[in-house]
């Protein structure tokens, strides 16, 4: 019952995690993280409520709110930081959105209201999505990717074959944190990450490393040719005001 009224009460928050170019060390964008400021339980992460939101169908309204809020925020940043119009924001996108009647049209309507080009938003799906109804999923993804970027998160943890992977209309692979943690210490992890980056290159995709924690991991990723990274080594997810400060420091 609390979750049903959380949107009306304005209890949801969006935090922003910087995504950094490994070659220039400049912020290239942000990943949006939704949080629930519960009146009694404090600040809740998606793991505390996303499962129930998906069960009840409320995830559709939550994802739509997050997209609207992040689009509005990105539009404001782009007006101020005109030096790089390629600044983007990515956000998780629930599979339930694919079951809606006209998901692509609804998403585009939000961007029209905020005067943003669709390419400035990246919708992140995960490799753990079921590939059983692959043709239906591909049709829906092709419809959405006609204007939006689509990122494949948690890469390396799912069961999709490379043959299927090359058919997905995605623009970036996001390497799962489990493969990043051993970089600089474990040669096998470095070999696996190197293979992932090579695969992304062969498919013409950008490669983004998630949850990078140390400078050693960062150095390894740069040496292996990874394009971008995010994680505590740069910043934890922060408020829009703090993200603005980081952006100003990066671009000015």
- For 159-187, give the DSSP string: ---HHHHTTS--SEEEE-HHHHTTTTT-H
Interval 51-109: pLDDT, tens: 888 888 788 888 888 988 999 999 899 888 765 557 889 988 765 555 555 666 777 78
Domain hosting 204: range is 19-31+59-236
**Is residue 110 one of the residues assigned to a domain?**
yes
Report d(CA 173, CA 178) in Å as an integer.
Answer: 14
**134 falls within a domain:** yes
Domain membership flag for residue 5: no
Residue 218 is predicted with a pLDDT of: 94
**Largest distance between two CA atoms of the chain:** 50
Distance CA 34, CA 168 (A): 26
pLDDT tens digits for 188-218? 889 999 999 999 999 999 999 999 999 999 9
Number of domains in the chain: 1
Short-list 215, 131, 217, CA closest to 179: 217
**Residue 219 belongs to a domain:** yes
Separation of alpha carbons 111 and 92, rounded Å: 17
In the prediction, which pLDDT does 127 show? 55
Residue 110 banded pLDDT, cuts 50, 70, 90: confident
Tokens 């390894």 belong to 220
Residue 130 has pLDDT above 60, yes or no: no
Mean pLDDT value across the chain:
84
Burial 51-68 (b: 16+ CB within 10 A, else e): eebeeeebbbebbbbbbb
121 within some domain? yes
Q: Report yes or no on 8 lying in a domain.
A: no
Does residue 151 belong to any structural domain of this protein?
Answer: yes
Predicted TM-score (pTM) of the model is 0.89
Q: Looking at residue 63, which CATH number applies to its domain?
A: 3.20.20.450
């Amino acid at each position: 019952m609390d979750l049903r009224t959380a949107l009306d009460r304005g209890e949801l928050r969006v935090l922003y995690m910087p995504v950094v170019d490994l070659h220039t060390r400049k912020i290239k964008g942000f990943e949006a993280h939704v949080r629930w400021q519960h009146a009694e339980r404090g600040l809740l992460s998606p793991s505390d409520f996303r499962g129930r939101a998906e069960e009840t169908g409320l995830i559709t309204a939550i994802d739509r709110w997050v997209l609207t809020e992040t689009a509005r925020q990105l539009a404001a940043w782009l007006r101020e930081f005109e030096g790089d119009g390629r600044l983007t924001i990515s956000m998780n996108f629930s599979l339930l959105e694919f079951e809606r009647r006209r998901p692509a049209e609804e998403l585009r309507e939000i961007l029209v209201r905020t005067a943003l080009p669709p390419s400035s938003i990246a919708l992140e799906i995960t490799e753990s999505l079921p590939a059983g109804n692959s043709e239906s999923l591909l049709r829906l993804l092709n419809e959405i990717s006609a204007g939006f970027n689509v990122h494949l998160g948690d890469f390396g943890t799912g069961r999709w074959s490379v043959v299927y992977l090359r058919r997905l209309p995605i623009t970036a692979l996001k390497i799962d944190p489990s493969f990043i943690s051993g970089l600089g210490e474990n040669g096998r992890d470095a070999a696996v990450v190197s293979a992932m980056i090579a695969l992304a290159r062969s498919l013409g995709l950008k490669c983004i490393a998630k949850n990078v924690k140390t400078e050693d991991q960062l150095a390894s990723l740069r040496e292996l040719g990874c394009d971008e990274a995010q994680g505590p080594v740069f910043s934890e997810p922060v408020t829009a005001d703090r993200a603005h400060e980081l952006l100003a420091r990066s671009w000015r």
